[in-house]
Structure 1
């Protein structure tokens, strides 16, 4: 089952935020994340808050159906308008994720975007992204999205090898993601991402290189590459525990990361976050940058998380409970936490260190500065950036990013 929600204080029924949350809001970007929790099938490695049709039977009835979901998201967008009051900021980024957003009709995704445009307005250069499974779109669907205001699409490719896709329980066939990129370009999308996963049991170095070559050859301007994480409670974890397939190996992950960095760099991609590469600054995922830099975003949908002015909250997880709350005029928020200055400092170090620009050394406490000095000596931080007052990971540092971050925030 999907991971549990964090602990926190109760969310007010009207969703009201503390007055300080909007102090200085006009100086911070505002984005929206719209969560679509529906999937045709559950991938064996997935730990996200998603539901298949069979998992929703008898647990919410018509309230949890796809048919009225766009209306529910619209209601939460209206709640956001009431909560944020006279906030004049146009929305800079919208990201529709899941789940499989493209299981909904394209008209529903356009309607959800229109609600944000109507209530808040969109910046002239707003980035509007949806995730898509390669087997859930066609040229007409993509053309309708583009005409409705979407300008970026992210396809879940994962691998170009059938045996790897089978281990991951992916339903699309090799070659389909590459065709989707061509269809997206033909529909007028300038910005297209392909998601890849490395370290799947049974994957070889040659398999991984073939996946990278296929992704690059398709012509996206952004590629994300993530190490496979085996989450407890997933079908993949159960298969590994039963000995059906081997556990993934950290050394293999490191080797695959070195391969992706080498291959993508030679192909004209530059890393800008540990797991993300783009061919230009325009090709970066600006919505994710909004998260990494601690800006404001409203997450709409079951289990979605939000952050405004140092207040973080999260919605109830189940689509039925989410629909019921909105239907009763209540906030779907399940809980919240008010971040202290120290919480926000730690989060800046945690997130910004993963970026190409790194983090200011001035944000580190004494122990963190000492740890940064040791990391510099170990070749984990860039010497030139360090002299300029920033902690920036080297390639070796990226391989050990989690450990470096832990040392710097201790």
Structure 2
């Protein structure tokens, strides 16, 4: 399970927000995130706020979860009134452990509360073994437009090290089934740099996602989080720690294979075959828009106010049953906070950020170090080149 949530000031019992935050809600776009905290088993690298049946305890269940989320939605509806909902993203955990009709009821509730925009993007995450063609068809009928499947690797050995439950061939088959079910937009997630993974293993994973016919690929370097089973195994010497040079080689391999197959990067860890295939919900996060996060541990941001819900599903359910906000704490972002976050996120995008919004000396140094696109720099825009993407965190530190 995830670590402790940050400190902050108390959230009002009714969840109310400052007038100035409410007045601007959704002005730059509005999304809804729904957190589903249930998993059939725990992956060794995962520190998300998720719970297996044995970890859940009393006071919370999958069966009543949709109704609990709809209770928070009612509170949210009484708090803000954005013009429309541009995107919905259901994440986890494993959202598809809930019935497709339960996910559909939550989506219908969002539409009734705030109204889905015409052409709204509606995504759910799924583990490959948690869906089949019939389930995917029901999801599509219930209004979902996009699905993100956690593939991680095509190597059985790597999947075992990650404690994944699906077989190596299940993820691409699930992607093909999603297409058959009517999903135009399908993502496959990869993790690279797992101990024991070879260059050939990762090359096979890249071929698999390309051959699956998806229009989006996310690829992330393995991060070993304290408190996870994998971190404990590494401390005991059972597994070697990831190596930065290996991660860089894997990233270069991903860029080469995906670009040759017609994908283009639009964020350091994300590639799509077209602008329509980009994840619009994540782009809302990355460009400073507003969103309401429903569910235990979910974070929200509206008009410069960020808050986060209590973590445990039972505590979350009890708060709502008592008619209170499930918010644990919140913070008011200063103008400088928002400026720094805007730089940290936009520098990672293929569109970059105007030079006028970053530290000039840092930008000049990044250009001198060969980390930026010179032509864009000459036009007043900071955009990372391939080498800069490998060193994105360093560039961000220099230009904040």
TM-score bin (small chain): over 0.9
Partner of 2:42: 42
CA shift, 1:384, in A, is 1.1
Structure 1 CA distance for aligned equivalents of residues 355 and 335 of structure 2: 17
Structure 1 CA distance for aligned equivalents of residues 399 and 62 of structure 2: 45
- Secondary structure of the corresponding residue to residue 302 of structure 1: coil
Structure 1 CA distance for aligned equivalents of residues 82 and 163 of structure 2: 44
The question of 1:225 aligning with 2:216 is answered no
1:359-378 pair list within 5 angstroms: 359-364=353-358, 368-378=359-369
Structure 2 CA distance for aligned equivalents of residues 4 and 398 of structure 1: 30
Structure 2 CA distance for aligned equivalents of residues 88 and 101 of structure 1: 25
The question of 1:186 aligning with 2:180 is answered yes
Contact map agreement 2:30 2:82 (CA 8 A) in 1? no
The question of 1:138 aligning with 2:132 is answered yes
Detail structure 1 runs of 4+ shifted over 2 Å in the superposition: 22-27
**Which residue among 149, 152, 156 is the counterpart of 2:143?**
149
CA shift, 1:186, in A, is 0.8
The question of 1:70 aligning with 2:66 is answered yes
Report the CA distance shift for 1:400/1:325 in structure 2 as closer, same or farther (over 3 A): same
Tell me the TM-score normalized by structure 1.
0.97
Structure 1 CA distance for aligned equivalents of residues 379 and 193 of structure 2: 36
Partner of 1:23: 23
Contact map agreement 2:26 2:290 (CA 8 A) in 1? no
- Cα-to-partner distance string for 1:229-267 (whole Å, 9 max, x where unaligned): 000110000001101111100000000000000000000
- Secondary structure of the corresponding residue to residue 66 of structure 1: coil
Structure 2 CA distance for aligned equivalents of residues 196 and 135 of structure 1: 16
Structure 1 CA distance for aligned equivalents of residues 315 and 278 of structure 2: 35
Partner of 1:90: 84
Partner of 2:109: 115
- Secondary structure of the corresponding residue to residue 282 of structure 1: helix
Partner of 1:322: 316
The question of 1:401 aligning with 2:396 is answered no
Partner of 2:167: 173
CA shift, 1:24, in A, is 3.3
- Cα-to-partner distance string for 1:180-236 (whole Å, 9 max, x where unaligned): 011111111000000000000000100000000001100000000000000011000
CA shift, 1:27, in A, is 2.7
Structure 2 CA distance for aligned equivalents of residues 42 and 26 of structure 1: 35
- For structure 1, the residue ranges without an aligned partner over 5 or more in a row are none
Partner of 2:325: 331
CA shift, 1:114, in A, is 0.7
**Which residue among 75, 94, 115 is the counterpart of 1:79?**
75
- Secondary structure of the corresponding residue to residue 341 of structure 2: helix
Structure 2 CA distance for aligned equivalents of residues 334 and 25 of structure 1: 21
The question of 1:102 aligning with 2:96 is answered yes
Partner of 1:10: 10
CA RMSD of aligned residues (A): 0.8
CA shift, 1:88, in A, is 4.7
- For structure 2, the residue ranges without an aligned partner over 5 or more in a row are none
1:352-391 pair list within 5 angstroms: 352-364=346-358, 368-391=359-382
Tell me the TM-score normalized by structure 2.
0.99
Partner of 1:310: 304
- Cα-to-partner distance string for 1:266-320 (whole Å, 9 max, x where unaligned): 0000000000000000000000000000100000000000000100000000001
Structure 1 CA distance for aligned equivalents of residues 352 and 269 of structure 2: 14
Structure 2 CA distance for aligned equivalents of residues 352 and 65 of structure 1: 39
CA shift, 1:56, in A, is 1.3
- Secondary structure of the corresponding residue to residue 208 of structure 2: helix
- Secondary structure of the corresponding residue to residue 25 of structure 1: coil
1:149-298 pair list within 5 angstroms: 149-298=143-292
CA shift, 1:26, in A, is 5.2
Structure 1 CA distance for aligned equivalents of residues 91 and 25 of structure 2: 25
Partner of 1:53: 53
